[in-house]
Amino acid sequence: MKKAPNISIINWLIVLFQLFDAVIRVIIDMSETLIPNIVEFMGAVDPFDKLNPKTLRDVAGMIIIRYFGKGEVIDLQESDQLYLLRTGAVEQRNLDGTLRAKLAAEDFFGFSRLTQQETNTASDPYTITVIEDALIYCLSINALLAKLNDQPNALAHFASHAQSRLRSGLNVVWSQHEKGLFFKPIMDVLNPHIVLVESTQTIQAVAKAMHVSTNSSCAFIMQNNEFIGLITDKDMTKRVVAEGIAITENIAVVMTKTPYSVKREDLVITAASLMMQHGIKNIPVVDNGVPIGLITPSDLVQNHRIQAIFLIDKINKIERLDQLAKLAIERQAIFEALVEAKVTVSVIGQVMAMIMDAYNRRLVMMAEAYLGAAPCEYCWIVAGSHARNEVHMLSDQDNALILANDATDTDKAYFHHLAMYVSKGMALCGYELCSGRFMAVTHKWCQPLAVWKAHYQKWAVNPEYDLLLEMSVFLDMRYVTGNQQLVDELQACMCKQLVHNARLISALARNALVQKTPLSIFRNWVLVKEGENANTLDIKSAALSIIVNLVRVQYLQLLSQLYSAEGSVVYKTNTEERLQALFEHNVINKATFKDLLAAFQFISQIRYSHQLQALQQGKIPNNHINPNAFNSFERTHLRETFKLITSYQEVIKMKFC
């Protein structure tokens, strides 16, 4: 006879099942409640924002939410997950410890495994460490691929843009080969597959040629075998479709006339610079007036990983100041990457200056949007290390506004508010205000062109100490945005003041000789004696500023001679470019040129490395270095560098004083 089942056990199982079912329902309900929030977040993140609403909701429904505390290491070795940061930050490092990327909200990682499955190629291993408490959305790569399998266009779009996002999230490791590519000729990376059309062709004919011939995103417009313009697929949308232009119209009506271009022998960094400065993505490569290829950001990413392009692209699209300020972490990571990879100091300074330019331009545009259109012509210029393209993590704001001569007092009030907006915005983005108040927000440096010319004339006639200090700051000035003709005219005025003005050159030389190198006759360091930086070496005032000022004196003398002979010159602000000009015009010999260039680069690298170390230790970087931190190689070369600078000072003293 079978034993009757235990009723209490059955009842217990029924209760347990009901409880389990209730828990599952609660989880499902919670998930359903969270999905709209997830959809809202992901719908603003590229490339999820390109998915249709149903697919986006389906993908959001597959999300698993995980929390990681600061210091936790996320193991990716056996994971098939794609990770999207909702809040917090993580750090990627290669197995040798070098920095790969710093990622924050809206950035992905684990993407290399997605591309690995798609391309069947191995990805480089790296570690992920949480550096700020993080809330992360986890998504199965296999599930995502399956969901997008019937949408090949969406999948391809996702792949290309997610990879760009990771690179914009600072995939920061360059091999020795990749570092050299910054200075490779453009010929090595250009895309030779281009479409040539005649200026007499219709818009429709050109569009068809772009689609049929090479499926190109742009076409080169020719007239009598001469390159006269460019048209892109985006131009077709904005200038033809949006404006209702008939497709039977001549292509010359909507083309971009005389676009920015580069030559085959130009360096890759030249193309990158044009892209960043002018917000353009298609740059023709021209040889003797004939187009031979095209450079696009994708070409540079594929071959060079110049991630600053993507940061600048982000800056150009930001609409709110708080969003702009959040990009500071990416700017810092780019600096860290460049220094860690031992990229040449000229490239580091130039890339960081391009980023600073982008912040300036965007903030000026935002200020105009806030205050209304500018009431008259103006030009925003920068000075100091920013103007010299020698920007580092301590570079502060040195800037000014040149206004049209017809500017009224009311106009000046407008530009004062514009300068306030930009200066405060730059400060929020990590660029300190100038302690000497050499900024456009100071009324003296926000004046009509005629007043600026009067400043230079006064400085030239009476180069006393205070006036000399002001002139020294604005001897290095560079256009950033606005009407460039205003700054060109002011620089021409400056050059005129230098011609046959030995007294001014001599005063500038004496001023440059005031600072001495920190090496005593006993070969001991002369250190800062008091204050919070006591017993440290100020690498800026002790060496870098001396070289910059001495080279500028000789360059200005050369400039005055060239301007006197030719009537116009191309004004160079960068120290290395000035040294090159001095050598090319036989002002200094080859040995002196090499010695000074090496000294400037070595000292700059010391400063960059010191700032990098401070950032990695969570400290505020500065120019003050404890001599005990130098290794034997650095101490020896620093002493030799200081001896070289002292010798150069003696030469300048004999020539000009």
Is residue 521 scored above 60 in pLDDT? no
**DSSP 8-state class, residue 519:** B
- Is the CA virtual torsion 125, 355, 603, 533 positive or negative? negative
Average pLDDT rounded to a whole number, residues 511-526: 68
Which range, of 49-58, 209-218, 221-230, averages the lowest pLDDT? 209-218
| In a domain? residue 363 | no
Predicted pLDDT of residue 574 = 93
Alpha-carbon distance of 645 to 639, in angstroms, equals 10
- Please, which residues have CB within 8 angstroms of residue 598's CB and are 6 or more apart in sequence? none
Q: What CA–CA distance (Å, rounded) separates 365 from 382?
A: 16
Which of 232, 265, 299 is the last residue in one of the domains?
Answer: 299
DSSP-H helix ranges across 567-589: 575-584
Q: How many CB atoms lie within 10 A of CB 459?
A: 22
What's the chain's average pLDDT? 80
CATH number at residue 217: 3.10.580.10
- Quote the pLDDT of residue 142: 79
Same domain as 141, residue 187: no
Band the pLDDT of 279: cuts 50, 70, 90: low
User: Who has greater pLDDT, 648 or 179?
Assistant: 648
Most confident residue range from 174-178, 263-267, 468-472, 588-592 = 588-592
Question: Quick one: 93 and 220 in the same domain?
Answer: no
Q: What is the pLDDT of residues 588-644, one digit of tens each?
A: 999 899 889 999 999 999 999 899 888 888 888 888 888 777 776 677 778 778 888
* pLDDT for position 608: 92
Residue 130 in contact with residue 123, Cβ under 8 Å? no
Instruction: CATH number of the domain at 128, please.
Output: 2.60.120.10
20 part of a folded domain: no
Give, to the nearest 10 degrees, the angle between helix 268-278 and helix 345-371.
10
Rounded (10°) CA dihedral 414, 415, 419, 425: 50
The domain boundary residue, chosen from 266, 299, 332: 299
CA distance 472 to 344: 27
The pLDDT of residue 7: 52
Residue 400 clears pLDDT 90, i.e. is over it = yes
Q: Is there a single domain that holds both residue 571 and residue 621?
A: yes
pLDDT band at residue 98 under the 50/70/90 scheme? low
pLDDT mean over 282-311: 71
Q: Is the pLDDT of residue 381 over 90?
A: yes
Question: Under a CB-based contact definition with an 8 Å cutoff, are residues 423 and 397 in contact?
Answer: yes
pLDDT in the model for residue 130: 92
Q: Are 219 and 210 a contacting pair, CB within 8 Å?
A: yes
The domain boundary residue, chosen from 163, 195, 216: 163
Q: Where are the alpha helices (DSSP H) in 482-544?
A: 484-498, 502-512, 539
pLDDT tens, residue by residue, 247-256: 899 999 999 8
151 and 270 assigned to the same domain: no
Q: Please give the pLDDT value at position 176.
A: 45
User: What phi, psi does 400 have (nearest 5°)?
Assistant: -160, 165
Evaluate the CA torsion angle 260, 265, 268, 270 in order and state its sign.
Answer: negative
pLDDT, position 28: 42
Tokens of 577: 């470019």
| Pairing relationship of beta strands 378-383 and 477-482 according to DSSP bridges | antiparallel
Q: Mean of the pLDDT values across residues 3-22?
A: 55
**Domain span holding position 94:** 34-163
8 A C-beta contact, residue 227 and residue 286: yes
Confidence label for 422 from pLDDT (cuts 50, 70 and 90): very high
- Provide the number of structural domains found in the chain: 3
Place of tokens 């046959």: 500
* Whether residues 42 and 117 fall in one domain: yes
230 plus 150 within the same structural domain: no
State the average pLDDT over residues 417-431. 95
Same domain assignment for residues 148 and 247: no
Strand segments, DSSP code E, in 517-575 are 537-538
| 193 shares a domain with 123 | no
In this predicted structure, what is the pLDDT of residue 82?
Answer: 84
Region of poorest pLDDT, from 21-30, 54-63, 134-143, 362-371: 21-30
182: tokens are 């910054």
Mean pLDDT of 358-385: 95
- The domain that holds 632 is classified in CATH as 1.20.120
Please, which pLDDT band fits residue 30 given cuts at 50, 70 and 90? very low
Q: Which of 251-260, 314-323, 468-477, 552-561 has the highest mean pLDDT?
A: 552-561
Determine, yes or no, domain membership for 528. yes
Strands 624-625 and 283-287: unpaired
When pLDDT is averaged across residues 301-315 and rounded to a whole number, the result is: 62
**Which pLDDT score is estimated for 40?**
86
**206 lies in a domain?**
yes
**Residue 4, in any domain of the structure:** no
Q: Is residue 649 domain-shared with residue 525, that is, in the same domain?
A: yes
What is the pTM for the complete model shown?
0.62
Q: Give phi and psi for 30, each to the nearest 5.
A: -65, -45
What is the rounded average pLDDT of the residues 137-142? Answer: 84
For the chain, the straight-line distance linking the first and the last C-alpha, in angstroms and rounded, comes to: 123
Residue 304 within a domain: no
pLDDT winner (highest mean) among 123-132, 277-286, 436-445: 436-445
- CB-based burial of residue 599 (10 Å sphere; 0-12 exposed, 13-18 middle, 19+ buried)? buried
User: By the 8 A CB rule, do 475 and 611 touch?
Assistant: no
Q: Are residues 515 and 637 in the same domain?
A: yes
Residues 88 and 187 in one domain: no
Residue 467 lies in a domain: no
Q: Contact at 8 Å (CB) between 92 and 125?
A: no
Cβ(574)–Cβ(388) below 8 Å: yes
Residues 134 and 220 reside in one and the same domain? no
Q: What is the identity of the amino acid at 512?
A: A
436-485 per-position pLDDT tens digit: 899 999 999 999 999 999 999 988 888 776 677 788 889 999 999 999 99
Residue 357 lies inside a defined structural domain of this protein? no
> Mean pLDDT over residues 390-398, rounded?
91
Lowest mean pLDDT among 63-72, 158-167, 251-260, 329-338: 158-167
| Ranges 339-343, 414-418, 599-603: which has the least confidence | 339-343
Q: What is the pLDDT of residues 59-72, one digit of tens each?
A: 888 888 888 899 99
pLDDT band at 152 (very low <50, low <70, confident <90, very high): low
Question: If you count them, how many residues does the chain have?
Answer: 657
